[in-house]
Amino acid sequence: MDIYQIIITYYPIWSLFEWIIFLSVLALAVCIAVVLYKKQKITMRQSIAGILLLLYLLLVFGSTVFTRMPGERQYQLEVFWSWKKILHYIEQHGMVTGTGLLRENLLNIVMLFPAGMLLPFVFGNRGKIRWWHGLLFGIFISGCIEGLQLILCRGLFEFDDMIHNSLGCMAGCAIGAGCLKKFNKK
């Protein structure tokens, strides 16, 4: 599956209402960032990183919750059920390529990686941000996504997604913090 297929599969077309909400929230965030920057509460880098983080999270919530059609309430409460299924498939067939679950798990890890990368740039001047801040942020954001999917009947609530999303956010935060440290030394 190429990048284009992934995008059109996981990012459905938005309705006019969804675009209006998206652009309204983004415009409000830009206004707040400009005011905070002018009052010297945040730096230009923080304001840009904050807007990019919000933009990315709006896209994530849009694609994982709000653009999905309501169905019936679904949940999978067994932790690591997807990995058990992948390992079972490998035992049965001797290969991993036949299951879409591995791709889905990897995409879930990658999903919040960019958000984690931006965290140190958003909070960089207010003290050191650590990898566990990224983990906590990932747990919070992923918990919101999974909770909304369960409440609104728009996807499968599962702990595996929360674990994968949080690990991706944590890794992104650790790498982003390293990049920020090198960026600040120059």
3-state secondary structure of 75: strand
pLDDT of residue 72: 87
pTM: 0.85
pLDDT of residue 127: 58
Q: How many domains does the chain have?
A: 1
Sequence letter at residue 116: G
Per the CB < 8 A criterion, the answer to whether 44 and 37 are in contact is yes
Bridge partners (DSSP) listed for residue 158: 76
d(CA 134, CA 53) in angstroms, rounded, equals 13
3-state secondary structure of 158: strand
Sequence letter at residue 67: T
CA 119 vs. chain centroid, Å, equals 12
Bridge partners (DSSP) listed for residue 49: none
Would you state the structure tokens that stand for residue 125, as one six-digit string? Answer: 């001047």
pLDDT of residue 97: 64
Give the phi and the psi of residue 168 in degrees, each rounded to 5: -65, -40
pLDDT tens for the 186 residues of the chain, in order: 466 666 666 666 778 888 898 899 999 999 999 999 999 999 999 999 999 999 999 989 988 888 777 888 888 899 999 988 888 888 888 776 656 888 889 999 999 999 999 999 999 765 588 899 999 999 999 999 999 999 999 888 999 999 999 999 999 999 999 988 887 776
d(CA 126, CA 54) in angstroms, rounded, equals 19
Domain range enclosing 28: 3-185
